[in-house]
Amino acid sequence: MQAQFDNAAATYDKDFTETIIGQNQRKRVWKLLSKILEGKKLNILELNCGTGEDAVWLARQGHNVWATDVSAEMLLEVHNKITLNECSNYVKTSILDLAIPNIEQFNNQQFDLIFSNFGGLNCLNSIELNQLLAKLPDLIKKEGKLVLVIMPPNSLYENMASLIKNSVKKLRSDGKQSKKVNVNGKMIETWYYEAKDVLPNNFKPLVCKPTGFLPSYAKNHANKNSLFYKIWYLFEEFCFKTGSFSAKADHYYLEMQKPV
């Protein structure tokens, strides 16, 4: 797994972060996160931090972030960003393989927020996911938050594309069966989960909203000047505000709270 994401590190921002699709989805995630962060200085554990775009954003607001990823190359990109943005004092990094998480490295520390963006947990099979979810509550303070951004089994865009192509091929599946996804030339096993599949025992779900419906590979449709995109963007904004069709998005944002 590490080698597969090491390969993607150098071009991840170009392929997703800097695209219209990536920017729109991240903007919506940040908008929802801002409500948690407002008026507080939090200790945050970030899972699958990627190149550190979220870690830098959180750190620049004065929050302490422990950014983790399975990929050493991704963490090198994080270090470059935090140095460039002069927020190294707020960000700590370490290797963490979510499939076999070494939570002992956190020395029994508990966090105000644990955050995983853009489908990092979709790289785990159902057994690995359940093992991780069983461990996360020990790392969260009472009334602390867990925010996961997940890819669901059904994608409205992909279903429409299949219908137009008169194809019965399903591009996504439920958590029982994986699909191979191309990430920078490497085929990575991916599982798709509904909200109920990623809810730890006794945690209270607070917010569930779609972050966007266009997958990253749909770059040809993400043209700000096209009529299709203008209409699609309005549809995405409506669904985001109302929380509609989260289960059919490209990613959905799920915010949960640990009980007292």
Q: What is the DSSP string of 150-211?
A: E--S--HHHHHHHHHTT----S---TTS-EEEEETTEEEEE----GGGG--TTPEEEEEEEE
pLDDT at 165: 82
Please say whether the dihedral angle defined by the alpha carbons of residues 232, 238, 239 and 240, taken in this order, is positive or negative.
positive
Give mean pLDDT, residues 17-33. 97
Give mean pLDDT, residues 204-221. 95
Tens digit of pLDDT for each residue in 186-201?
778 999 999 999 999 9
Look at the pTM and tell me if it is higher than 0.85: yes
Total of domains in the chain = 1
Mean confidence (pLDDT) of the chain: 94
- Spatial distance between the Cα atoms of 5 and 73, rounded to a whole number of angstroms: 8
Residue that is written with structure tokens 């590190």 in the block: 9
- Spatial distance between the Cα atoms of 20 and 24, rounded to a whole number of angstroms: 6
Three-class DSSP category at 239: helix
Burial 184-212 (b: 16+ CB within 10 A, else e): eeeebebbbbbbebbbbeebeeebebbbb
195: CATH: 3.40.50.150
pLDDT at 168: 59
Tens digit of pLDDT for each residue in 98-138?
999 999 999 999 999 999 999 999 999 999 999 999 999 99
pLDDT at 11: 93
N- to C-terminal Cα separation, the chain = 36
Least-confidence region, from 62-71, 206-215, 217-226, 236-245: 217-226
CA distance to 154, 164, 191, 221, 243, per residue, from 111 (Å)? 32, 46, 27, 39, 27
Q: What are phi and psi of 109, to 5 degrees?
A: -70, 145
Considering only the C-alpha atoms of the chain, give the largest distance between any 2 of them, rounded to a whole number of Å: 54
Q: How confident is the model at residue 232 (pLDDT cuts 50, 70, 90)?
A: very high
- Print the domain residue range for 197: 2-257
pLDDT at 175: 67
pLDDT at 248: 97
- 79: tokens are 């270090």
Residue that is written with structure tokens 């099979």 in the block: 125
Give mean pLDDT, residues 76-84. 98
